[in-house]
Amino acid sequence: MHNDQQFLLEPSNHGADYALLDLSGEGRYTMPVTYRPVISTGHVALNEYIHFMHFGLTSDDVSVFEANMAKLIDQREQYPASA
């Protein structure tokens, strides 16, 4: 079955690693890093860009970080992307 929310990401820096991104949360991959989508704001089309970031958080920081990101996402209409 084809899932259009799974992407192979090519590195923009020479020598960096490729990455698999599964926005659906349904992928079955074996890798050293696991994650779950916490907040989703819509569908990503194949011609759109994805900015992926990694944050090293302590277990104490996670709930604060998620709450602040949820607030930022909820207020995203106040900060439209420039064309």
Query: What is the rounded average pLDDT of the residues 4-18?
Result: 79
The whole-number pLDDT of residue 60 equals 92
Is 34 part of any domain? Answer: yes
The answer to whether 17 and 11 are in contact (CB under 8 A) is yes
**Structural domain range at position 34:** 6-78
Is 19 part of any domain? Answer: yes
In DSSP terms, which residues pair with 9 in a beta bridge? 19
Q: How many domains does the chain have?
A: 1
Length of the chain: 83
For the stretch 60-83, pLDDT in tens is 998 999 899 888 888 877 776 665
Is 1 part of any domain? Answer: no
Model-level pTM?
A: 0.46
Query: What is the rounded average pLDDT of the residues 51-61?
Result: 82
| pLDDT surpassing 60 at residue 12 | yes
Residues 6+ apart with CB under 8 A from 46: 4
Residue 52 tokens, joined:
């992926």
Burial class (CB in 10 A: 0-12, 13-18, 19+), 6: middle
For the stretch 21-49, pLDDT in tens is 777 767 666 655 566 667 777 777 777 76
Is 16 part of any domain? Answer: yes
Residue 40: name the closest of 69, 64, 68 by CA.
69
Residue 22: name the closest of 38, 37, 43 by CA.
37
